[in-house]
Structure 1
Amino acid sequence: MNIDDFDFHLPEELIAQTPLKERASSNLMVLNRSDESIEHRQFSQIIDCLKPGDSLVLNNTKVLPARLLGTKEETGANVELLLLHQIEGDRWEVLAKPAKKIKEGTMIQFGNGLLRATCVENLEQGGKIIEFDYDGIFLEVLNELGEMPLPPYIKEKLDDQDRYQTVYAEDPGSAAAPTAGLHFTEELLQTIRDRGINIVYLTLHVGLGTFRPVQVDNIEEHDMHAEYYHLSAEAAEQLKETKQQGGRIIAVGTTSIRTLETVMRDHQELKAASGWTDIFIYPPYSFQAVDGLITNFHLPKSTLIMLVSAFATKDFIMRAYHEAIDQRYRFFSFGDAMIIL
């Protein structure tokens, strides 16, 4: 398929720059795959789309304050690093700006030397392997010096950093939030539990793939960047039980769906598994694990809109997106949501 098949015009004013005051007050578009109908609701009404015995699958990854602003020790020039994932010990894969000015051996300091870094390897497209040097505990140093790595299309300052975390974020490791989960509150999750719907957690640390656009015309030639995932034995058993008892598995976000489909692809069943996935889902694709998807509205030509188009159909999703634009839905990370059943 061609990349232009997933293009659409989005008025810039519809790109949400700040989160709504109340997480669950966002709009919710309900898409029914069987008759291709579309309804408009509020996210707080998501409970009406779920049934007792269903399992809602949430990604409990936590976004690191992964944006570091520092200076080159030799020249004092400003440098920005975005941590992507920990390789081992104090070595991390990062995106660097300006990438061409940071070569092997370049030394950088942050917070007047509270944290120091040395570039040990150059990668493609601005990527670097960095080794950090510090006293104490790295995550504590990072919490003191780092900033939340908001996507480049968000220009406004985020006053409350917690609004770029889900309320159930637990396992630090992401360079971006699993944004479909930002709509949930503790109260809404409890209401869902009280209705007999299972809440199941898995982990996928969102990495470089989120920041890299598709740069080929033929999408089959695109290489996804690998991201770390983990599905526990307890979670796998709950999901298998859900299927056996006739319930549905509803994935919250493209990260959850990619994790479950990776496990099914690699093991032919839902079982405890962890590792790195570079699964790239685009039409046509036969989903093996998931019966429903909750997701935000994504960028044109992105791998995310390709995945959503595979779950429904490209024509149905494009029609839904154009209706969302007509209805003035808010797009991207802090925007509105859809559920596809």
Structure 2
Amino acid sequence: MTKTDPLLTSSYHYELPDELIATHPVYPRDHARLLVYNRHDKTITHARFDALESFLPEKCAIIFNDTKVIKARLYGKKESGGAVELLINRPRDAYLITVYIKGRVKEGTLLHFDGDLSARVVALHEDGSRDVNFYLRGTLIRFEELLPILEHVGHIPLPPYLGREDNSEDEREYQSVFAAHEGAVAAPTASLHFTDELFDAICSKHPHAFVTLHVGSGTFKPVEAEIITDHPMHSEYFDVSSAALELIRSELPLLSIGTTSTRTVEYHVRSHDVRGEANLFLHPNNPPKRINHLLTNFHLPQSTLLMLVASFVGLEETHRIYQEAIDQKYRFFSYGDAMLIL
């Protein structure tokens, strides 16, 4: 195999100057840059995000992900006094929550947080995750009871590559204007570019609907297997609304806002499930079947998200587009600029 083999993980490596990693959001959010790639003639156009409507096909329906980011990061202490940092990943059931913990713990370890909140470690997993139960003033609580507590004692779970603590700006900007259903521990970042005004303007001209996919921390996990198909794809909870089902079953071309909306629709197309656990891995050898156009950000090297982009445009064109974005000094990753694939 060569470095241009789409099944080779190393084929998805690229060099990104550190200064192009966006550590803070653009304000206003729709003033981010927009790279428009047309697959028919392979042209690249540079624009600003608030010009999005002028590039959309006249007949095009839009699928948004209305998940809402929770304050999933907690700072606390073990009973021994040692500091710990806990990142909620997802609930396994009403009481059992899978998390990641910085700091050595063992089964039975009790962790204390602000607001009389505590967590007991009940299982350790080989992938580094831990299962915990949460307690409020010593009483076992359900995940939905935990969510309002996190609003007061938790922190916005910024991606680790931002290299900074969260602040009040992130509470507002690391959330889409149409976020509705709590459960994500990472934002569906293509959605972050929409202002209320732009969202309303786009939706007034195009049929649209929502799916929900609660983005997990696995979205940041790099592919470590040499062959991409050996990568154990993470799963995330999803729900396809009846309005979204109607659009999926229609003849209209579909634009998905973000990789998360794409994976949700494409998982449904393959499984016919309308809710449950989605673990679809899109790549050049497993391209989309229903989504026609994609709006997304610029993604980490060797990530499943970059491989999803390549499932739309191919590996060679992915590298060409990304090199153009680097040459033009686009901002990368969660708070970075956007790309529209037509």
Counterparts of 1:70 and 1:25, CA distance in 2: 38
Counterparts of 2:234 and 2:286, CA distance in 1: 19
1:106-151 CA-to-partner distances (Å, cap 9, x unmatched) read 001101x610110000112320000001158422211111000000
Q: Is the 8 A contact 2:34 2:49 kept in 1?
A: yes
Any residues of structure 2 matched to 1:148-167 within 5 Å, and which? 148-157=156-165, 158-160=167-169, 161-167=171-177
Q: Is the 8 A contact 2:157 2:185 kept in 1?
A: yes
Corresponding residue for 2:266?
A: 261
Displacement of 1:89 in angstroms is 2.2
The partner residue of 1:143 within 144, 151, 163 is 151
Counterparts of 1:330 and 1:189, CA distance in 2: 22
Q: Is the 8 A contact 2:258 2:294 kept in 1?
A: yes
**TM-score, with normalisation over the residues of structure 1?**
0.93
- Percent identical: 41
Does residue 207 in structure 1 map to residue 208 in structure 2?
A: no
In structure 2, relative to structure 1, the CA distance for the partners of 1:175 and 1:310 (3 Å cut) is: same
Counterparts of 1:46 and 1:257, CA distance in 2: 18
Any residues of structure 2 matched to 1:284-303 within 5 Å, and which? 284-303=285-304
Counterparts of 2:249 and 2:195, CA distance in 1: 26
SS of equivalent residue, structure 2 residue 223: coil
1:250-305 CA-to-partner distances (Å, cap 9, x unmatched) read 001100000011011113xxxx7001011111112232110100000000111100
Gaps of 5+ in 1: none
Corresponding residue for 1:3?
A: 9
**TM-score, with normalisation over the residues of structure 2?**
0.93
Corresponding residue for 1:188?
A: 198
Corresponding residue for 2:121?
A: 119
1:61-116 CA-to-partner distances (Å, cap 9, x unmatched) read 0011000011001x110011100111222320001112xx21100001101x6101
SS of equivalent residue, structure 2 residue 160: coil
Does residue 14 in structure 1 map to residue 3 in structure 2?
A: no
Does residue 104 in structure 1 map to residue 107 in structure 2?
A: yes
Displacement of 1:211 in angstroms is 3.0
- In the alignment of these two chains, the number of paired residues is 328
SS of equivalent residue, structure 1 residue 153: helix
Corresponding residue for 2:319?
A: 318
SS of equivalent residue, structure 1 residue 281: coil
SS of equivalent residue, structure 2 residue 277: strand
Q: Specify the code of the residue in structure 2 equivalent to 1:125.
A: D
The partner residue of 1:71 within 55, 77, 80 is 77
Counterparts of 1:216 and 1:155, CA distance in 2: 26
In structure 2, relative to structure 1, the CA distance for the partners of 1:288 and 1:34 (3 Å cut) is: same
Displacement of 1:53 in angstroms is 3.7
SS of equivalent residue, structure 1 residue 62: strand
Corresponding residue for 1:175?
A: 185
Q: Specify the code of the residue in structure 1 equivalent to 2:88.
A: L
The partner residue of 2:96 within 80, 91, 94 is 91
Q: Is the 8 A contact 1:70 1:110 kept in 2?
A: yes
Displacement of 1:35 in angstroms is 1.3
Q: Is the 8 A contact 2:35 2:46 kept in 1?
A: yes
Counterparts of 2:319 and 2:168, CA distance in 1: 33
Displacement of 1:232 in angstroms is 1.6
SS of equivalent residue, structure 1 residue 261: helix
Q: Specify the code of the residue in structure 1 equivalent to 2:31.
A: S
Q: Specify the code of the residue in structure 1 equivalent to 2:90.
A: H
Q: Is the 8 A contact 1:116 1:133 kept in 2?
A: yes
SS of equivalent residue, structure 1 residue 88: coil
SS of equivalent residue, structure 2 residue 162: coil
Any residues of structure 2 matched to 1:238-277 within 5 Å, and which? 238-241=247-250, 243=251, 247-267=252-272, 273-277=274-278
Displacement of 1:238 in angstroms is 3.1
Counterparts of 1:224 and 1:286, CA distance in 2: 16
Counterparts of 1:286 and 1:325, CA distance in 2: 25
Counterparts of 2:178 and 2:338, CA distance in 1: 18
Counterparts of 2:240 and 2:258, CA distance in 1: 15
Gaps of 5+ in 2: 1-6
